Structures are given as C-alpha cells and as structure tokens.
Copies of this chain bind each other. A is one copy, B any other.
C-alpha cells in the first residue's frame, strides 16, 4: 500500500523526495518532501490519491524483490537524498540491501510484501490524514509530509475500524472529563499535571477505596512514605544508575541531592528493614496509594493517559520463596474481581527480560531464569489466557502484566504483578527462619489500577462516562415539578444524604430543561416529584440505563440504591 501511495504521489509530483514508508498497526504511512500546500485545500486531495491507488491496484502490478550492492543502490536512488542517507547507513552496518520493483517504481525496502496488487482489496483501504513529521523524528532535520492510511483484508473490517475510531472520538476522556467536570489543567501548573475537581476526586476515592477493600480482605496493611528521598536510596536500589534520565532531582540549600520518587519500592523496603523480622511475621504486605513522578518529554503528554504526576495504587509483599505462589494467586484474584466489576476482558502478558540486553537489568541470568520459570508456572496453574513479551520486564524482575479489552475493542495495559529477587539482595532483606538463620526473602510489586490517572481515562472511555451508581459523583438528582413540591423534594434529599448517598436537588429552570441537564450529566437516578408523588409518598424514577421506571415508594427506592451500590452494578 505504501509503495502504491508513493507511486500515486510521484505521478502528481514527479520531483518528490521520498522518506520512509513503513507498516503500522492497522495500516501504513509514507513520508514525502512536498512543496508547501501540495495537499489539502487548493492542492491534491487524499480522495484523488485514493482513486489513483485503486487504478494501480486494478493493473495487478507485481512486487518483485531484488538484492543489490550499495553501489547499484546509490545509482538507482541518485536523485533521492533521503534514500541515499539510508543506503549509506546500511552500507556502514554491512547489512543486506534489497529493493522492490512494481511497474516503473523502485523502492528501497526490506519487505516482505504481497506478490501482486491482486491480493489487495481496493475497497478495504483508506487514506486518513496528512501531518508534518521530522525526518528521523529529530527537530534538527527537515519537516516532511506524512500521509497515513488504513488497510484491511475486507471492507467490513475497514468499516468496523472507522466506526470504532468515531466512537473513540465521542468517548474521548478529555471531552467527557470536561463535560462532567472531573479534572482540569492549568497553564500555570503545567501539562501532564491534572487538577482533580470535587467530582473527579469522588471517582478517584471510590476506585481507591474499592481496591483497598479487596486488599484488606487479603491481609494488606497501609503505610505512608514521603515523596522525596536522599539520592542514597536510589544508589542502593540501582535506580540512580538505570533510571536517572527520568528522575526529578532536587538540590537543597545545604547542597544535598534529593530525588522526587519515581516508584515506591525502595522506600517500602526501609519500613520492612527497620525491624528484625521472624518468618512468623511474613508475608508483610504494604499498600499505599501515592503519587510518583517521571520526567516525561512534554510532547508525550496527553490528557490523563500520560502524566508527570502518576497516582499508583501500589503494594509490595515481602515474603519467603515458598510463599510466592499463594501471594500471586491472591493478587490475581483481586485483579480478576476488580476488572470483572467493569466487564473488562483480561489477558496476561508474561513480561520477560531480553537476554540480549542484560545491561538494562539488575541481577544474574540465573536469578532471571528462576523467577521467569516461577511466573510461567503460576500462569499455567491459573489456566490463564497468556502470551510472552520478551524485553518487557522491569529493571529488577519479570512481570505479569494484564491487558484489558474495552467496550470498543481496544486493549490497554492495566494491572501488574512483579517478582523481584534483586531489591532484596541490594537492600539485604532477610527474615530469621525456623532454624534461627537469616534467610533472603523476595519481593512482589503489584498495582491493581496501575496509574489512577490512566485507569480513569480508560474507564471513562470504556463506559462513555456512564459511571455505575457507586462511582457516580452525583448519584441521585431530585427534580421538583413546581415550587409546591420543593419541601417534599428536600425531605427526600435529607433522607438520602443522611444515609450516605450523593444526592442533589435541582429546582431552577423548566422541568424539561432540568431533566435534559441531569441526563447530560449522566446522573444514574433522576427522581421527579409532583402532586401525585407528594400525595403517595413516592418518587418517579428515570434511570439512565433502564429508562422510565415510573412511580415507586421511597422505601423501594432506598432498597434499590443500597442493593445497586453493594453489587457495584
């Protein structure tokens, strides 16, 4: 597809200089050095290029691969400076140089490709947009024009994907977050640093309380640490050497160097280590929801998906080798229960180390093999839907990462359980065992939501902002039809608030406007009260999922609310 796009562009702009044209998820792109305003209004439209590509497909062009020497390649691409740059690099690295020919067009390309344009479905592709992109991603290089395209096997797949994109745009958490007033950003504070409003904070707190409840049942205890530390802690943990780029560093007025914590494990080891521990005290399970900070590049920040201040629902288990499995299972149960509550489908990635990049990791190959074998056994035992991701491990050990599929089919990395045999070595963490001997312990790292910011973004888009009752910032909106029904509305409000429900009265504006307003705010329960309701001691329920439910008694309403919250429906 990329080659065909290049051919279509060359026909319109014979002097075009070509960049690269790789495959990406669900499609491809190609970078071109084009004259200003070559595309778009007044220039060539993407639809014209699509038409041209369809003509090329009909010609049943073949894609023929050939190996060439660097010299031959330089001759072929003598008028293409970007290609020449790539050829020089390949030559330096002594890599094989291959080209693909299709009709008159020759491209420098490793392939592989379809053999003939016959294999391409002319109805299953679409050019989606053009955007500026620096050559090789560096600001120092010229800006090229990148044209993006989608390509599938069937027209249906393309349509489904376009529908999904349109749906994703509607569900964009930045848009819904503003509509429901959940969070905001301030130019004075900076991007990547969300400020959570009262409504957004309710959602954060409810999510966090739920995770804590699930953990408390499994014997976790909460601890509290400061957000900074002397750099000594990270020198011992190894983060100073391996993670230094992303660390926020602070010089004190006395000339000491502190760091803003990018993770919580090193601090938590110090709580474990401040007392001698007997094997009888293990496992120690410390949970803490707290912010960590990473010096991300500002170009990478966007809404809540990627932030500088990341609230982790973090926990660390300090246990014996023999307790690893039971602890993994307990955490897995929490994760299963939590994600089932929102109807997310989960699969597990076994994130293992890349043996060819041992410099990225702490510890010996033996420790890694042992830890990874353990994790694989656990996944097998859980009969989990899993796959292995080489090179996805943490610095200190392999991970079990969970991927959740949302309502429109996108997969997000969420929860994680990590096995760590390196930190306990570096901090010399031990317990006294049955024989009165010091025994090296292991650490598990786990997060259920991962980052509350990112999980909130995923959840908002998954639910399209329709939070279940227990999570809704305003659970019940009471609308009095007229002035005469206001005091009855207040009675109901008092009853609800007293019982811990988040309820409000709305009494300005016409009743129609107020119903629409409450619906735009995605309020689960809208209660209308007029003459009949006052007389019968009832409320008229309009439920955001189930629709009109009509008149019910206040007792029945109360029961419904209690049950729905308890069941987290």
Contacts and interface: CB of A to CB of B under 8 A. Distances in A.
Interface of A: 181, 184, 186-190, 193-198, 200-202, 204-205, 221-230, 232-233, 236, 245, 248-254, 256, 258, 260, 266-267, 270-271, 273-275, 286, 291, 293, 295, 297-298, 308-309, 311
A273 B232 CA distance: 40
Contacts of A248: 228, 250, 252, 258
Nearest to A297: B254
Contact of A250 (B223, B260, B286): B260
Contacts of A253: 245, 295, 297
Nearest to A270: B186
Contacts of A270: 184, 186, 188-189, 195
Contacts of A308: 226, 228
10 contacts: A184-B274, A190-B229, A190-B230, A190-B232, A196-B271, A226-B309, A245-B253, A248-B250, A249-B250, A254-B298
Contacts of A198: 221-223, 286
Given A228-B293, A254-B297, A196 B223 contact: yes
Given A232-B188, A233-B189, A274-B184, A224 B196 contact: yes
A201 B232 CA distance: 25
A195 B274 contact: yes
Contact of A186 (B195, B224, B233, B250): B233
B188 A230 contact: yes
Given A195-B267, A295-B252, A309-B228, A190 B258 contact: yes
Count of this chain's copies in the oligomeric assembly:
2
A194 to B, nearest CB: 7
Which among A189, A202, A254 has the greatest number of chain B C-beta atoms within 10 A?
A189
Given A195-B274, A274-B186, A201 B228 contact: no
Contacts of A258: 190, 248
A53 B165 CA distance: 90
Contact of A197 (B205, B232, B271): B271
A225 B252 contact: no
A258 B308 CA distance: 11
A228 B308 CA distance: 9
A181 B252 contact: no
A104 to B, nearest CB: 45
A518 B225 CA distance: 27
Contact of A227 (B227, B230, B232): B227
B226 A291 contact: yes
Given A188-B236, A193-B229, A196-B223, 14 more contacts: A181-B275, A184-B270, A186-B274, A188-B229, A188-B230, A188-B266, A189-B229, A190-B229, A190-B230, A193-B228, A195-B274, A198-B221, A201-B221, A249-B251
Nearest to A284: B198
Given A221-B198, A249-B251, A251-B249, A226 B186 contact: no
Which among A186, A221, A295 has the greatest number of chain B C-beta atoms within 10 A?
A186
Nearest to A288: B201
Closest 9 CB pairs of A and B: A226-B309, A198-B221, A196-B224, A186-B270, A190-B230, A184-B274, A188-B233, A193-B226, A189-B229
A217 to B, nearest CB: 10
A228 B202 CA distance: 22
Contacts of A297: 253-254
A253 to B, nearest CB: 5
Contacts of A229: 188-190, 193
A426 to B, nearest CB: 11
Contacts of A254: 297-298
Given A197-B223, A197-B271, A260 B188 contact: no
Contacts of A186: 233, 270, 273-274
Nearest to A259: B250
Which among A197, A297, A311 has the greatest number of chain B C-beta atoms within 10 A?
A197
A273 B187 CA distance: 12
Contacts of A223: 195-198, 201
Contacts of A233: 186, 188-189
A224 B201 contact: yes
Contacts of A273: 186
Nearest to A184: B274
Given A227-B309, A248-B252, A270-B186, A222 B201 contact: yes
A291 B226 CA distance: 8
A192 to B, nearest CB: 9
Which among A224, A236, A273 has the greatest number of chain B C-beta atoms within 10 A?
A224
A7 to B, nearest CB: 40
A258 B190 CA distance: 9
A226 B309 CA distance: 6
